[in-house]
Amino acid sequence: MKKGAIIPLVIFAVLVAFLAIGLGLKPREVPSPFIDKAVPEFSLPKLMQEGQTISPADLKGQVWMLNVFASWCVSCRAEHEVLSRFIRTEKVPVLGLNYKDEPSDAKKWLAALGNPYQHIAVDYDGKAGIDLGVYGVPETFVVDKKGIIRHKVTGPVYEETVRDTLLPLILKLREEQG
Amino acid sequence: MIPEIGHFALVLALVIALVQSVFPILGTVTNNAQWVAMAKPTARAQLLFMSIAFACLVISFLDSDFSVRYVANNSNTLMPTIYKVSAVWGAHEGSLLLWGLILSVWAALVSIFSKGISAVMLARVLSVMGMIGVGFLLFMLLTSNPFERLFPIPAEGRTLNPLLQDPGLAIHPPMLYMGYVGFSVAFAFAIAAMLGGKLDAAWARWARPWTNVAWVFLTIGIALGSWWAYYELGWGGWWFWDPVENASLMPWLVGTALIHSLAVSEKRAAFKSWTVLLAIFAFSLSLLGTFLVRSGVLTSVHAFASDPERGLFILIFLVLVVGSSLVLYAIRAPKLRSTGTFSVISREVGLLVNNVVLVAMTATVLLGTLYPLFIDALGMGKISVGPPYFNTLSLPLGIVLFSAMGFGLFLRWKKDKPERLFAKVRWVLLLALIIAFLVPILFMESFTVKAALGVFLASWVSLTALLWVQEQGRSPFKLPLAIWGAAIAHIGMAVTVAGISLTSMYSVEKDVRLDKGETYEMAGYLFAFNGVEKVQGPNYIAQRGEIVITRKGEAIATLHPEKRNYGQGTMPMTEAGIDGGFFRDLFVALGEPLGEQAWSLRLYHKPVVNWIWLGAALMSLGGFLAAFDKRYRMVRRRSQKLTPKQSDALAATATKQEVTA
Amino acid sequence: MRALLLSCLCTVLLLGAVNAQAEADALTFKTAESEADYNALINELRCLVCQNQNLAGSDADLAKDLRAQVYDMVESGQSRSDVVDYMVTRYGDFVLYRPAFKLKTVLLWLGPVVFLLLALWFVIRWVRKQPAKPVETLNETQRETVRDLLDKHK
């Protein structure tokens, strides 16, 4: 068993390598299975325009974002300024998904903080959220001209996220054919 | 002042640990007897200062000294005293201090109960333990200081997680740590033996009682955790294969292999290198567990801390300790040739099968626990591996293990005859089969193959254990403790498995909506719901329900399940109402209010569920008895008259007078 | 050996999923089968917002919503694999506590089989490779010590 004596050491070394890599990973972040797939359909009432509905098909042909938010969500408040500025500066159409919220609360929240959304859909029971694979709030999806989801941000959008990920991606997608 | 003393004690403990790690072992190389002799006093001084540090932290909690950040984060003035004490080890920093304290306790005990171990060997053992102590002390002082101050001093602390405010869970970590850390003794002996280059039976004999005791504590710790999960979490489950749970199970599995392997190494000059490797594995898994629980690398409800920075420190420590021991092993392995010979049907082979199956089980648990990490690290996405996986795979491995367990007790050393074996066990097999068919039919509602299988294996192991005791020939009371220990431990394992099989297959669970005054019938019992009232506790407000259980008109029990709110943004806690019994548990938990007087309730009938922990208690008793077998005590007594060299020589011979245990 | 035979005869079966439920939902089911499906599913689906809990054991909002979704699907007659597909489409493989048998989980599911086979091969190899050396005998010092002791303790 002489040569075999080195096997435990080798296995240990491989294990340590994985554990070391593991220190840099985020085990709780779940990637979206919708990347490079069509954005799931939904047709929900609009928050601001009573009686009307909105669906992703309405935004086909442009590069747009879907932002899941709620008035009870603390992190949404935290990302609001960064997100709004980005939307304003780059003129990105954004569909806000008001997730499991009271419409009156949402309206108050937007009135206080500002409304950056082009359209707002009311997902009262969270069904549309489930169809999108939403598991936390806020979440932001980037959709291309063909209606394919190209990226998802889980958690609040920070300056770095905008600078390093969203802005370059939006610009790139705009170059693509519709 | 007290926190400063505590902090200073930690620093002094570190200095002593450094001396303990360096001088004795250097002394063995340079033949400096004085340095070698420093092992014992430094180990005992280490215990002194760790105790002072620990006492200071306890006092800080009892005084509710919120100028200490750790106290402020984990305690408040309203908490009952017992939980102020258990809060000491309720979170990351304090639990590390407990780890370090227990390490110093074990090292001091080794330094005391070491008559007959040569000074050189003892020096190596205690130096290795000192090195481990250095690692933990550095970890504490550099990254996780329990005495760190908080300014401004808050008027009131937060609270100990309400889940931990429970007697069972209070004692669970100390028991576990006694086990994890206890394996460091076997580890240290293995290293010392490898360094000495002489791996005769002596090191196995010395290591064996320590390892047995460590194993007992780990068994108790795991059983307590499981039992607590059952009665506290309110969902009738008792094991979820959570990464932290697995982190405690893996050293236990390897520890079980180790205690069996030490038996072989002690009695027969066989398995030398294998036993050393197991000793390294057992402690490595303890350290790995420490890493997994505190680094944030795996997601778990039990995780103490999710700090990659701290994780890196532990990983480096792990690499140093385990890496160097495996390098030493690779170098020394050629010298560890076993000389015993044995045939295919022999006790040696039986124990070897035991060992490798346990290691295969450990590897399986490790694979399942770390697989999501492997996949993620390779950029292949995120998957989950949970109870369905582990439950499915435990079954075949468990079957192989249990089948071997029955035979193993009877096998003779070196060479045995299959005919003799089957002559002994064929009646047992028949009896076990009959029991396996009868129990589900007679006592449970229906027959299931899985339950029958579990009962069969459990009966097989228990009956062979009893038969083995009987075949020793002498009066049971004159048998050595080692025999009793082994038999009781095996029976304990069987009882646990029987409990697991029967309760998994035959538990009945119902979620019902009941109005005040309504009744529900389940499993032959009538549950009457008498509503819910508000109750004030020392540091919580509770909704307390009353359920009266009767059976055919006869009163069985009145249960008071509660839903407690401990305030300060904590989750509401469910305290189940349980009528516990030897043959079944009746379990009631409050759900949600559904209207004026109506509530949703969860009702369980769980047959023989307590056998799971009763079996663990038996296993612990068995292990304990075996550790205190008189031959260990006798060696100590005898060896007091011998020089260490003589007693090493004595221990190296396998005497015929001893029984085959 | 009988032990091996026994283990071959027994098929690999699920050892009864651990039953867990967060708060009592007090649901009613059309058939016993749909109830069994529901319980099995909520035990095997993972709660995405929790620190390692299944849907059954979690009090989180999303877990409640997903349990309701499972209930609706099961009551409307859909099969377990329908529900599993639904969840995996939306949340990926992460949501399954029973890892799907795919290329990337081959090592996971077959690994333990390999471990067991390796273990048994190890035993066979060890037994075959017995060293030819004679059993260790005592040297002179050891013999003397033993003689002295036996004399002392007679």
pLDDT in tens, B53-76: 999 999 999 999 999 999 999 998
Could you tell me the two tokens for B519?
Answer: 């009744």
> How many other C-beta atoms can be found within 10 angstroms of the C-beta atom of residue A49?
11
Q: Which helix (H) or strand (E) holds A11?
A: helix A7-22
Instruction: Output the CA torsion A125→A129→A130→A133 (10° steps).
Output: -170
Measured between beta carbons, which residues in chain B are less than 8 angstroms from residue A23? Answer: 295-297, 308, 311-312, 315
* 3-state secondary structure at position B591: strand
Collapsed DSSP state (helix, strand, coil) of residue B509:
strand
pLDDT of residue A2: 60
Residue C4, pLDDT score: 38
Q: What is the pLDDT of residue A27?
A: 85
Same-domain status, B74 and B29: yes
Q: Is the peptide bond before C112 cis (omega within 30 degrees of 0)?
A: no
What is the model's pLDDT at position A23? Answer: 92
Task: Report if residue B534 sits inside a domain.
Answer: yes
Partner-chain contact A100 C61, CB within 8 Å = yes
Contact yes or no for A143/A156 (Cβ under 8 A): no
Domain containing B573: what range? 508-607
Residue A15 lies in a domain: no
The contact set of B with A (CB < 8 A) is 273, 277, 280-281, 284, 291, 295-299, 308, 311-312, 315, 318-319, 322-323, 326-327, 329-330, 333-334, 370, 372-374, 376-377, 381-382
Q: Kindly report which listed range (A41-55, B210-224, B390-404, B406-420) carries the lowest average pLDDT score.
A: B406-420
In a domain, A98, yes or no: yes
B31 and B158: one domain?
yes
In tens, the pLDDT along B607-661 reads: 999 999 999 999 999 999 998 887 666 555 554 555 566 555 555 543 333 333 3
Q: How far apart (Å, rounded) are the C-alpha atoms in residues B128 and B122?
A: 10
C11 touching chain B per CB within 8 A: no
Pick from A3, A25, A74 the residue to mutate for testing the B interface (most B CBs within 10 Å).
A25
Closest CA to A86 of A35, A157, A135: A157
| Domain assignment of residue A4, yes or no | no
Closest CA to A70 of A175, A156, A160: A156
Q: What is the nearest CA distance from B70 to chain C, expressed in angstroms?
A: 23
Q: Is residue B545 part of a domain?
A: yes
Share of chain B above pLDDT 90, in %: 60
| pLDDT of the residue at B472 | 83
pLDDT per residue over B385-406, tens digit each? 999 999 999 999 999 999 989 8
Check residue A132 and give its pLDDT: 95
Of A74-78, B158-162, B385-389, B396-400, the poorest mean pLDDT is in B158-162
User: Which domain-ending residue is among B165, B189, B209?
Assistant: B165
The percent helix, strand, coil of chain A (3-state, each to 5) is 40, 20, 40
**pLDDT bracket for residue B571 (50, 70, 90):** confident
CA–CA dist B232, A162 (Å, integer) = 45
Please tell me whether residues B161 and B17 are part of one structural domain.
Answer: yes
CB A22 to CB B372 under 8 A? no
Q: How confident is the model at residue C19 (pLDDT cuts 50, 70, 90)?
A: very low
Q: How far is B593 from chain A (nearest CA, A)?
A: 21
Taking only the tens place, the pLDDT of each residue in B252-310 is 999 999 999 998 887 776 677 889 999 999 999 999 999 998 888 888 877 776 778 88
The pLDDT of C120-128, averaged and rounded, is 85
Q: Looking at the partner chain, which of B319, B322, B333 has a beta carbon nearest the beta carbon of A1?
A: B333
Distance from B240 to chain C by nearest Cα, in Å? 8
Q: Best of C58, C94, C107 to disrupt the A interface by mutation (most A CBs within 10 Å)? A: C94
Interface contact C7-B396, CB threshold 8 A:
yes
Neighbouring residues of A48: CB distance < 8 A, sequence distance ≥ 6: A107, A115, A120
pLDDT-derived band at C20, boundaries 50, 70, 90? very low
C112/B428 Cα distance (integer angstroms): 31
Q: Does C4 touch chain B (CB under 8 A)?
A: yes
Is A67 in contact with A149 (CB distance < 8 Å)? no
Is the domain of B431 the same as that of B515?
Answer: no
Q: How many domains does chain A have?
A: 1
Per-residue pLDDT at B338: 66
Q: Would you say residue B312 lies in a domain?
A: no
* Closest of B171, A123, A147, B114 to residue A139, by C-alpha: A123
Average pLDDT over residues A79-106: 94
What is the C-alpha to C-alpha distance for residues B123 and B23, in angstroms, rounded to an integer? 9
Pair B431, B575 in one domain: no
Asked if the structure places residue A3 within a domain, the reply is: no
The pLDDT of residue C21: 42
Looking at beta carbons, which residues of chain B come within 8 Å of A25? Answer: 297, 373, 376-377
pLDDT of residue A103: 93
The answer to whether residues B28 and B96 belong to one domain is yes
Instruction: Give the sign of the dihedral formed by CA B13, CA B14, CA B17, CA B18.
Output: negative
User: How far is it, in rounded angstroms, from Cα B279 to Cα B484?
Assistant: 25
Residues of chain A neighbouring B367 (CB-CB closer than 8 A): none
Buried b (16+ CB within 10 A) or exposed e, B617-633: bbbbbbbbbbbebebbe
Q: Is A100 contained in some domain?
A: yes
Query: Is A145 a residue whose pLDDT tops 80?
Result: yes
Whether residue A33 and residue C62 make contact (CB cut-off 8 A), yes or no, is no
Q: Do C51 and B509 touch (CB under 8 A)?
A: no
Residue B364: which of C46, C115, C149 has the nearest Cβ?
A: C115
Here the tokens at position C18 are: 């651990």
Averaged pLDDT, B508-523: 89
- Bridge partners, residue B383, by sequence: none
* Stronger pLDDT, B183 or B168, i.e. the higher one: B183
Beta strands A53-54 and A44-45, pairing class: antiparallel
CA atoms within 13 A on the CB side of B421: 19
Q: Which residue has the higher pLDDT, B81 or B419?
A: B81
On whether residue A150 sits in a domain, the answer given is yes
Of residues A149 and B648, more confidently modeled: A149
Asked if residue B489 lies in contact with residue B470, where contact means CB atoms within 8 angstroms, the answer is no
Is C49's Cβ below 8 Å from some Cβ in B? no
Q: In chain B, helix, strand, coil percent, each to 5?
A: 65, 10, 25
Confidence of residue C7 (pLDDT cuts 50, 70, 90): very low
The answer as to whether B250 is a domain residue is no
> Is B430 in the same domain as B546?
no
CA dihedral B474, B477, B478, B483 (to 10 degrees): 80
At A171, which CATH number?
A: 3.40.30.10
Say if CB B642 and CB B618 are below 8 A apart.
no
User: What is the token pair recorded at B195?
Assistant: 């360094």
How many domains does one find in chain B? 4
Give residue B236's pLDDT band: very low, low, confident or very high (50, 70, 90): confident
Clarify whether residues B502 and B534 are in a common domain.
no
Which CATH code fits C16-95?
1.10.8.640
Same domain, B439 and B577: no
- Is residue B552 domain-shared with residue B639, that is, in the same domain? no
Q: Could you tell me if residue B519 is inside a domain?
A: yes
Query: Percent of chain C beyond pLDDT 70?
Result: 76
List C residues 91-130 in contact with A (Cβ-Cβ < 8 A). 91-92, 94
Residues 6+ apart with CB under 8 A from A26: none
Tokens, residue B579: 């009528």
- The average confidence (pLDDT) of chain A is 92
> Which has the closest alpha carbon to B599: B558, B561, B559?
B561
Percent of chain B with pLDDT over 70: 93
Task: Show Cβ contacts of residue B519 under 8 Å, excluding neighbours closer than 6 positions.
Answer: B526, B527, B528, B529
Measured CA distances, A103 to A66, A124, B494 (Å): 18, 8, 60
Q: With a cut of 70, say whether residue B366 has pLDDT above it.
A: yes
Whole-angstrom distance, CA of residue C115 vs CA of residue C113: 5
Token pair belonging to C127:
């037994």
- The pLDDT-based confidence of C1 (bands split at 50, 70, 90) is very low
- Cβ neighbors of B404 (< 8 A, separation 6 or more) are B350, B353, B354, B357, C3
- In this prediction, residue B445 carries a pLDDT of 75
**What pTM did the predictor assign?**
0.90
- Does C31 contact B at CB distance below 8 Å? no
Residue range(s) defining the domain that contains residue A157: 31-175
Whether the CB of A104 is below 8 Å from some CB of chain B: the reply is: no
- B649, B512: one domain: no
Compute the mean pLDDT over every residue in chain B, rounded to the nearest whole number.
88
Over the Cα atoms of chain B, what is R_g? Answer: 26
- Cβ-nearest to B330 among A9, A16, A30: A9
In this structure, is residue B211 part of a structural domain? Answer: no
Token pair, residue B154, equals: 């808050």
Shared domain check, B83 and B52 = yes
pLDDT at B347: 85
Whose tokens are 């009066």? That residue is B475
User: Is the N-terminal amide bond of A138 cis, ω within 30° of 0?
Assistant: yes
Strands (E), chain C: none
Q: Are strands A94-99 and A64-69 parallel, antiparallel or unpaired?
A: parallel
Residue C124 has pLDDT above 90, yes or no: no
Task: Indicate the residue of A31, A33, A136 with minimum beta-carbon distance to C90.
Answer: A33
